[in-house]
Chain A
Amino acid sequence: MSDPPRSEAQQRADDMAVFQTELARLEAEGVLRLDAAQQQTLRQHHAALLASFAVRFDIDRDTRAKQMSLGMRVASFLGALALAASVFFLFYQFWGLFDETVQVTILLGAALASLGLTLWIQTRDASGYFSKLAALVAFACFVLNLVMFGQIFNITPTDRALIPWGVLALLLAYACDLRLLLAAGICCVIAWVGTRVGQWGGIYWLNAGERPENFIPVAALLFAVPALFDLRRRSGFAATYRIFGLLCLLLPMLILGHWGAASYLAGFEGFETHNIEAGYQLAGFVASALTIWLGARHQWPEAINTGIIFFVIFLYTKFFNWWWEIMPKYLFFLLLGLSAILILVVLRRLRRVLGSGGEGRP
């Protein structure tokens, strides 16, 4: 049997705690009572599993440990940011003292050494906090490596640098099971695909953001990744891909719904700016509603939440456009409150329908 990943071990430990609590309740209510031998076997089995998980993965055994781990995650993230900033300013502080050859050696050496250090720490750190910290520093060192090359040798800025950055971030994310670096890698992919699409449309790569439609094609790519590859053994990876895919679809729609002049369609005859805006507003409503439906159907909570957030934003911006100028403010906010209640009622009904539809399923 292969080793379960850390997330599965943590899930098993959580399930054991829930099982013990429910078993104690059932015993107190007189519904189920295990005899002494069964209790002993169960206790020993759980204790052995927890001990083995704790040695291999440094998992959280109880709620207190879980709360501590959240604090450690925050500390690890802040520490990584601080260390990356420290490396950056260290280079700047002493940069003028070195000639070009030494500068290149330092930049290349720092990128390679930080990568090696990350992988060395990973073999010794069961919790993953220190390897996460080191992985972020390794990524920062590599980004700094190419950025500083650009400054030292006056290289023309290019979007091609996003490719190795994205590949390294994804490599470290998969090797160390880190969602933060996965997000960094996905951001590089989004930026690169967006700039490429922009360049095909005749836009200089640094101005690709002026046409939000450039980022819509990458949404399909990101949404396809969890459908094409099995990511069940990587905790939260599929959800991260879907969230970024939805952001790449819904954010451009939100922007173009209020800034139609930025659309490619604005260059064609017969497409008035206000018609483009109306079209994107309608598309935004439909897309966010479809996202909620799709998330509910496939049990993707992150898709449901993203869909709801964007639906509400589309709705409230529309309310603002319609009524902010013509209505008394108390009436405007009353309508916002009433619409929030209506949304809650609809979602509760949806949850009930989905709940009854799911009954009896394994």
Chain B
Amino acid sequence: MGEFDSYSLIDFMPMGPEVYFRLFVRHNQALWPAQIPGLILGLVALWSAWRGRGRILGPALGICWLWVGYTFHLKLFAELNWAASYAGWGFVLQGLLLAGWGFAGRLDGEFHRPLGAVEYTGLGLGVFALVAYPLLIPLSGRAWWAVELFGTAPDPTVILTLGLLLLPARVPWSLTVIPILWCALSGAVWWAMSWMPGLLVPALALLFLVAAIKKGADSFP
């Protein structure tokens, strides 16, 4: 009777797939057209990482993390799941850290040149988060309004951030803890909701870790 396993991951989720998927629809409808400046900030972040402008990169990412933390987690998701308020404050903290590190010049200069495989992986993650990830939503049968975009939805915001943190000469490890934790949590939620494309989120965090470790190893003489 293996098909009747007692507890599964969904049993520990306080809401079902219908409600979770609708959360993104409602979020997008409530925020429209704020998605546009969010995407522009994503392009600014990509450009500033490419050009090694950490003082622009940090605040551009930081604003998006603060926005997602407040509008998605604290204002909307926390209605359904008390744990989302912790995620929300985590996003706020990450936003402040990114902006602070950027303003302090700790993401500035010394960007690895010429770009190697690790840096191209980072840029690839960024482009994927901006363009390809959002397309997975309608392609997998979810509503167009549920599309998850950088700057307003958590997963693409986190993936792009991780990707661009591969660009500086040294990976700022302290800025990677919250994004990696979120990727693990988000993957578990998507698994429980039976939306398998969502498993790309922890998979890409794993790819980031491999690339970051390789970068660390390469930086030793």
A binds B: no
Which residues of A come within 8 Å of B, CB atoms? none
Which residues of B come within 8 Å of A, CB atoms? none
